[in-house]
A and B are shown apart, each in its own frame.
Chain A
Amino acid sequence: MTLKQVVNNVAEMPASKNAVVDIKNLSLTFQTADGPVYALSDVDLTINEGDFVSFIGPSGCGKTTLLRVIADLEKATGGDISINGVSPEQARENRAYGYVFQAPALLPWRSIERNVTLPLEIMEISKEERIKRAHEALKLVELNGFEKKFPWQLSGGMQQRASIARALSFDADLLLMDEPFGALDEIVRDHLNEQLLKLWARTNKTVAFVTHSIPEAVYLSTKIVVMSPRPGRIIDVIETDFPRERNLDIRETPEFLEIAHRVREGLRAGHSNDE
């Protein structure tokens, strides 16, 4: 299938409404020596197939925790959550998602190529296939030619791209990204955002993306989830209708500014509740 065909298919596809992540009345309380900490409370959310969902909110609002619950890295203490119709634990066992952390978390003793093939190795995929897929994934993030380099020989932005390639290598339909570009400078971040959008438009993956940057959230998403802290909860869900293929110029349009304004209002309201 050529790239053009892929793009056409995506364009023709009806807005599919299969829920990938279904969360109902979810809560999570950490028991600490200083008493319980209510990290998440009464969270209801549906992420549909092909969605690009951003979680935005001040630090401590539980956006990362919510992503970790989806990934089965934390267990919810109340409510229901299903991923592709099964429990998060089952979904993790099925390798249903790729997770990109805040830091690249590349293993320093492995070359970039062998870092990208790490999940494939664990999934016991043949060596030939592993290398083929690693090269494809590295090409998607424009890192071809760096296969034999070691992580510490690459810049921070390149390392984060390699970690995205690693999450893409086993072709999971769901991509969970926890502030992947948080530590990068604005220029690199803009570039990687563009690349990520292209990738998403091309592959029709479902993406859950944690950020604390309003422009980043509005630019990338089809759905913006605004959260507020103590207890972590959802205070607004904003749907956007920008085309799937978009460029950085849309950040100057009135629609964009209007949505950004609504997000900011939401965040402010969440904060005033807190005080």
Chain B
Amino acid sequence: MTEMKLDKFCLVGAIAALLALIFPLAGIDADTGKQVAFVSDIPGLAIAMALCVIAGAAFTWLGVRSVISGVIILAVAVFGCWQAIATLYDHGVAGFAGTGFWLFILSLWAFVWRGIDVIANYRSLETAKQQIANVTVPVAFGFWLLFVWEVLVAGFGVPQVLLPPPSMIGVRFVTSTDIMAADFYQTFVKAVLSGYVLGCGSAFVMAIAVDRVPFLKRGLLPLGNMVSALPIIGVAPIMVMWFGFDWQSKAAVIVIMTFFPMLVNTVTGLNAAGKLERDLMATYASGYWSTLFRLRLPAAMPFVFNALKINSTLALIGAIVAEFFGTPIVGMGFRISTEVGRMNIDMVWAEIALAALAGTAFYGAVAYIERKATSWHPSFRVRRH
């Protein structure tokens, strides 16, 4: 072996795990005056730490080159994570985590980082294998972040009112599915979808009117600019007064929020077709509508989808904020504002998780349709020889 390079991450992982075996696992309970727990009393944790030392030392010399070695490292790390959680909750270390415990977490971090790194750099010509690798990286990273969140909150004994651990949020999420489903239906299906369709649809029609009638372009666009600058917090209570407490007022807020991005993008998109292509249509004596449908609207599609994607996230924000200003006793915004008052922070977080899921799914769906509808665009082109 000519190039003998030590794997730094594995080295850190091995040393940290070795030190974790030596340093005290937990702090001292002020009431009893004794250390809460010892590594020697928890065989699972001891095995996990020993494994980290052995695997870390081995891969420091061998290097982590193949996916298999990456998977082995990750497997060791996953076992370690499981034992760390068990130590926290089953052996009373929660709130009393000591130097040894955090050194072990540092060791796990080094392994996870190295393992994900190897999989992220994996390149295969087989699409199935490549896709598995592509999905594994963000999923593994996401779980790692949740684990760190859980361990930090439990290890330092952070009060639940400040930040509940993800496990608690998860339990709340699963046990209150009926409430969540009702909130989702009220806020997302009724308010967001109707407001989104109305706002984007009317702005699209208006964009074509603006394009057709020059004075609208000079008169309406600057005004629209002003409307878009209206703070949603200021508009929402007025919409509640105009359209009542139910979803209609939320839809109205969403219409105001989504209208302008759609209008501006569509107007810009309608001018995206090149001069050459317009001249081409002119040589065929193609009329306004024929040119609109055959050339200008297809050319505008990337811009239109851009607005649709921006608006998919704006609409959800608008609906939730608008519900703070008056609503029937259901809805995601209503739940967040009332449960905060009742100190049920886990429920608030469960609603935030629901909003994140719904928003991501909505955005993903629009992006998927975009990919199908504008597959000709240079950013999506697939060579089909």
On chain B, the residues within 8 Å of A250 by CB distance are: none
The answer, among A98, A105, A118, A122, for a CB contact under 8 Å with B276, is A105
Contact A121 B294 (CB under 8 A): yes
Q: Closest CB of chain B to A22's CB: distance in Å?
A: 20
Is A237 positioned at the interface, with any CB of B under 8 Å from its CB?
no
Contact A93 B285 (CB under 8 A): yes
Interface residue range, chain A: 20 to 34
Is A199 positioned at the interface, with any CB of B under 8 Å from its CB?
no
Segment at the interface with A among B120-128, B245-253, B330-338, B376-384: B376-384
Tell me the residues in window 289-336 of chain B with beta carbons closer than 8 Å to chain A beta carbons: 290, 294-295, 298, 301
Tell me the residues in window 258-308 of chain B with beta carbons closer than 8 Å to chain A beta carbons: 274, 276-277, 279-286, 290, 294-295, 298, 301
On chain A, the residues within 8 Å of B285 by CB distance are: 92-95, 122
| Residue in A71, A73, A107, A153 whose Cβ sees the most chain B Cβ within 10 Å | A107
Contact A73 B276 (CB under 8 A): no
On chain A, the residues within 8 Å of B276 by CB distance are: 101, 103, 105
The answer, among B279, B301, B381, for a CB contact under 8 Å with A152, is B381
Known contacts A107-B298, A150-B376; A73 and B283 CB within 8 A of each other:
yes
Is B218 positioned at the interface, with any CB of A under 8 Å from its CB?
no
Known contacts A108-B376, A109-B298; A122 and B286 CB within 8 A of each other:
yes
Contact B283 A109 (CB under 8 A): no
- Total CB contacts across the A-B interface at under 8 A: 55
In the bound assembly, the distance between CA atoms of A98 and B283 in angstroms comes to: 7
Contact A105 B381 (CB under 8 A): no
Contact B283 A107 (CB under 8 A): no
Is B385 positioned at the interface, with any CB of A under 8 Å from its CB?
yes
Contact B374 A109 (CB under 8 A): yes
Contact B277 A107 (CB under 8 A): yes
In the bound assembly, the distance between CA atoms of A118 and B294 in angstroms comes to: 8
Tell me the residues in window 354-385 of chain B with beta carbons closer than 8 Å to chain A beta carbons: 374, 376-378, 381, 383-385
Is A119 positioned at the interface, with any CB of B under 8 Å from its CB?
yes
Contact B282 A73 (CB under 8 A): yes
Known contacts A118-B294, A152-B381; A123 and B284 CB within 8 A of each other:
yes
Q: Closest CB of chain B to A159's CB: distance in Å?
A: 13
Interface string of A72-87 (1 = CB under 8 A from B): 1100000000000000
User: Which B residue sits closest to A163, measured CB to CB?
Assistant: B280
| Residue in B276, B281, B283, B376 whose Cβ sees the most chain A Cβ within 10 Å | B283
In the bound assembly, the distance between CA atoms of A212 and B298 in angstroms comes to: 35
On chain A, the residues within 8 Å of B279 by CB distance are: 73, 99, 101
On chain B, the residues within 8 Å of A119 by CB distance are: 284
**Residue count of chain B within 8 Å CB distance of chain A:** 24
Is A181 positioned at the interface, with any CB of B under 8 Å from its CB?
no
Q: Closest CB of chain A to B292's CB: distance in Å?
A: 12
On chain B, the residues within 8 Å of A108 by CB distance are: 376-377
The answer, among A95, A107, A122, for a CB contact under 8 Å with B290, is A122
Q: Closest CB of chain A to B48's CB: distance in Å?
A: 54
In the bound assembly, the distance between CA atoms of A187 and B281 in angstroms comes to: 31
In the bound assembly, the distance between CA atoms of A122 and B220 in angstroms comes to: 32
Tell me the residues in window 128-177 of chain A with beta carbons closer than 8 Å to chain B beta carbons: 149-150, 152-153
Contact A105 B280 (CB under 8 A): yes
Contact A122 B377 (CB under 8 A): no
On chain B, the residues within 8 Å of A92 by CB distance are: 282-283, 285
Is A52 positioned at the interface, with any CB of B under 8 Å from its CB?
no
Q: Closest CB of chain A to B274's CB: distance in Å?
A: 8
Known contacts A101-B279, A107-B298, A153-B384; A95 and B376 CB within 8 A of each other:
no
Is A209 positioned at the interface, with any CB of B under 8 Å from its CB?
no
Is A200 positioned at the interface, with any CB of B under 8 Å from its CB?
no
Contact B384 A101 (CB under 8 A): no
Contact A95 B284 (CB under 8 A): yes
Q: Closest CB of chain A to B85's CB: distance in Å?
A: 52
Is A55 positioned at the interface, with any CB of B under 8 Å from its CB?
no
In the bound assembly, the distance between CA atoms of A118 and B281 in angstroms comes to: 9
The answer, among A73, A122, A152, for a CB contact under 8 Å with B284, is A122
Q: Closest CB of chain A to B332's CB: distance in Å?
A: 38
User: Which A residue sits closest to B385, measured CB to CB?
Assistant: A153
In the bound assembly, the distance between CA atoms of A152 and B383 in angstroms comes to: 9
Q: Closest CB of chain B to A116's CB: distance in Å?
A: 12
In the bound assembly, the distance between CA atoms of A150 and B276 in angstroms comes to: 19
On chain B, the residues within 8 Å of A107 by CB distance are: 277, 294-295, 298
On chain B, the residues within 8 Å of A71 by CB distance are: 283
On chain A, the residues within 8 Å of B377 by CB distance are: 108
In the bound assembly, the distance between CA atoms of A150 and B378 in angstroms comes to: 12
On chain A, the residues within 8 Å of B282 by CB distance are: 72-73, 92
Is A219 positioned at the interface, with any CB of B under 8 Å from its CB?
no
In the bound assembly, the distance between CA atoms of A150 and B385 in angstroms comes to: 10
User: Which B residue sits closest to A121, measured CB to CB?
Assistant: B294
Contact A97 B295 (CB under 8 A): no
Known contacts A107-B298, A122-B294; A97 and B283 CB within 8 A of each other:
yes
In the bound assembly, the distance between CA atoms of A118 and B282 in angstroms comes to: 12
User: Which B residue sits closest to A89, measured CB to CB?
Assistant: B285
On chain A, the residues within 8 Å of B378 by CB distance are: 152
Known contacts A107-B295, A121-B294; A99 and B283 CB within 8 A of each other:
yes
Q: Closest CB of chain A to B285's CB: distance in Å?
A: 5
A sample of 4 more A-B contacts (CB under 8 A), given A73-B279, A73-B282, is A92-B283, A109-B374, A122-B281, A122-B290
6 nearest interchain CB pairs? A109-B376, A99-B283, A108-B376, A105-B276, A119-B284, A122-B286
Which B residues form the contact surface with A (CB < 8 A)?
Answer: 274, 276-277, 279-286, 290, 294-295, 298, 301, 374, 376-378, 381, 383-385
22 residue pairs A–B, Cβ–Cβ below 8 Å = A71-B283, A95-B284, A95-B285, A98-B283, A99-B279, A99-B280, A101-B276, A101-B280, A105-B276, A105-B277, A109-B376, A118-B284, A118-B294, A121-B294, A122-B285, A122-B286, A122-B290, A149-B384, A152-B376, A152-B378, A153-B383, A153-B385
